[in-house]
Amino acid sequence: MYTFSSKLKTFSIALIVLGLLGMAYGFFTVPKNTEEIETILSASSHNSHEAEAAHNEHKVASEHKAESHVSKSEEHQEHLEHVLSQYQNKPWSAFFIAAFFFFMISLLALVFYAIQWAASAGWSIVLFRVMESITAFLLPTSFFLLLFLVLSATNFNHIFVWMGEHAANDPALVEKAPWLNKTGFLFRAFLFVTGWNIFRFFLRKNSIALDTAGEMKYYKRNFNIAVGFLAFFIVTELFFVFDMTMSLDPHWFSQLYPFYVFASMMVSGITVILIVTVYLKSKGYLPNVKQSHIHDLGKFMFGFSIFWAYFFFDQFMLQWYSNQPEESVYWVPRLLGSYQLPFIGMLILNFVLPFLILISSDFKRISSIIVAAGLFIIIGHYIDIFILISPATVGDSWSFGIPELASLLFFFGLFIFVVFSALAKAPLQAKGNPLMKESEHYHYYNL
């Protein structure tokens, strides 16, 4: 049995408290009116291009209003209100990014776990308790994510522009209103998230029952549940990603987008499984996990990194080649605007470094190297989610400061507390699984 050490527990609680304090600071220090925004822009105009970039962004948008004849003072006031909205979105956006990132990690860890059951895989049984414990984080992140969505729908923030009053004057949003409306949006979110949590509950319950009872009926039940979950997930993930992130830019669309997000978070989920496994082995647990298991997790990390790069290039190449205005608006802030540096850094962390490190079979057997590659991947895909969301929520007013760091600390601390508490609730070896011997003696032959 694993014992959740008091030091690690204290560390996780400290992260949670620091995160809560930082998030509270972020919410209390946002500008309250346009006068404060004018002061901020005036101060920053001497040492940054933020004011100019925000002004140019608003100016480009206003130039499309051919019949607009506002005076300079009215235009300036409208610009200040636009920037105020971006600044007030910053703590909300930081919370949403962290909540969505950790939610998807736990969800895709559940997908990877269900795939093992549906495929009757033998090699991964010794890793089942690690996977199950990571999926335990699905429930608390579901609560925070759904709470955020309810607050968004009740106008506590302006993250989703199609929820605003001006949407009624936008022909594109009026046309999409049968799908993009608050009632349907919340109903789908609650339906999908609740469904995923129910599947997770029964998979875990039957897995523990298989330990104690040792009856094949529990194994067969989990096989059927895993197949049903994967079928349910394939459909619901598409609409969930459309709603959560692509609807932030409701004028832009891409059919490849949900697959791109799936690939991004799948490699992140597998990487977290590997890092937790290596940590437990370093503490003397999981004696039956061998370097071949670590190696195979490394192969999945490598494969899904390439898979992610494939979808990234496909989405980018098709839209760059067609050069349609409604598609290029997505790429301009990321390729040419203020997000250019994190965008390039994300490509290096998510593809270049994993490719160079994980292409070697020998490197995938060295724990320190593969964990380093895993950290690059986790950081890179957090940046990926950051630049998927931030351009639509805070525009050029983005930064990585206290709200962003605090949200990460809060969810990371909560992740440690929930996952390692779950690890301590059941034996680390899934003893009742009929394929356990195959997993214990598994060896990867590099031919």
How far is 97 from 102, CA to CA, in rounded Å? 9
pTM recorded for the entire structure: 0.90
In this structure, of 9-23, 29-43, 202-216, 294-308, the range with the lowest mean pLDDT score is 29-43
Token reading at 384: 């990926």
pLDDT, position 318 = 82
Asked if 250 and 163 touch (Cβ cutoff 8 Å), the reply is no
Whose CA is closest to 411, among 207, 36, 70, 106?
A: 106
Spell out the residues 6+ positions from residue 122 whose beta carbon is closer than 8 angstroms to its own. Answer: 435, 438, 439, 442
pLDDT, position 269 = 96
Buried b (16+ CB within 10 A) or exposed e, 422-445: bbeebebbbebbebbeebeebebe
pLDDT, position 191 = 97
On the question of pLDDT at 222 being above 50, the answer is yes
Q: Give residue-wise pLDDT tens across range 270-313.
A: 999 999 999 999 999 999 999 889 999 999 999 999 999 999 99
Q: Which residue has the higher pLDDT, 322 or 259?
A: 259
Average pLDDT over residues 153-159: 90
On the question of pLDDT at 217 being above 80, the answer is yes
How far is 123 from 221, CA to CA, in rounded Å? 20
Q: In percent, how much of the chain has pLDDT > 90?
A: 60
Average pLDDT over residues 118-131: 93
Token reading at 46: 């001497």
On the question of pLDDT at 53 being above 80, the answer is no
Q: Give residue-wise pLDDT tens across range 330-371.
A: 888 888 888 999 999 999 999 999 999 999 888 888 889 999
- In three-state secondary structure terms, 309 is helix
CA triple 173-92-385, angle to 5 deg: 75
Give the helix ranges, DSSP H, for 119-215.
128-135, 138-153, 171-176, 182-213
Segment holding 393, helix H or strand E = helix 367-393
Q: Is 126 exposed, middle or buried (0-12, 13-18, 19+ CB in 10 A)?
A: buried
pLDDT, position 81 = 78
Asked if 363 and 357 touch (Cβ cutoff 8 Å), the reply is yes
How far is 395 from 46, CA to CA, in rounded Å? 20
pLDDT, position 391 = 92
pLDDT, position 72 = 66
Spell out the residues 6+ positions from residue 410 whose beta carbon is closer than 8 angstroms to its own. Answer: 15, 16, 18, 19, 20, 22, 23, 98
pLDDT, position 45 = 60
Which of the four pLDDT bands, split at 50, 70 and 90, describes residue 58? Answer: very low
On the question of pLDDT at 421 being above 60, the answer is yes
What single-letter DSSP state applies at residue 397? Answer: G
Q: Which residue has the higher pLDDT, 213 or 366?
A: 366
How far is 264 from 244, CA to CA, in rounded Å? 15
Spell out the residues 6+ positions from residue 190 whose beta carbon is closer than 8 angstroms to its own. Answer: 146
How far is 384 from 261, CA to CA, in rounded Å? 9
**HSE of 12, CA atoms in CB hemisphere, 13 A:** 17
